[in-house]
Amino acid sequence: MQSIDTRELHARHLDETGTILDVRGPDEFAQGHVQGALNVPHDQVDGRLAEIPKDRPVLVHCAMGGRAQRAAAVLEAAGYEVICVTNGGMREWAELGFPTVR
């Protein structure tokens, strides 16, 4: 599984390279998320695979990285091409001033 940081997530978001999967809870997602991100909480990923496109890489992120790693492992086992944001996450996204949807 490939790992990237928050700056690389931002670059891929601008290039529209992959599906951004935010695996935080719905309340966290509502407080601010990357535009166009799909929200599936990390503990629901295995039961909601049909909602996650499989035709392009899935860039998985959360607040800091732990939940993203768990969700990424589920996706990888299901045959997805997964790129996990392990350094940073949504907290760093906001700290860096990248655009956030509320």
Q: Give catalytic residues, as residue numbers.
A: 62
| Amino acid, single-letter form, for residue 19 | T
Radius of gyration of the chain (CA): 12
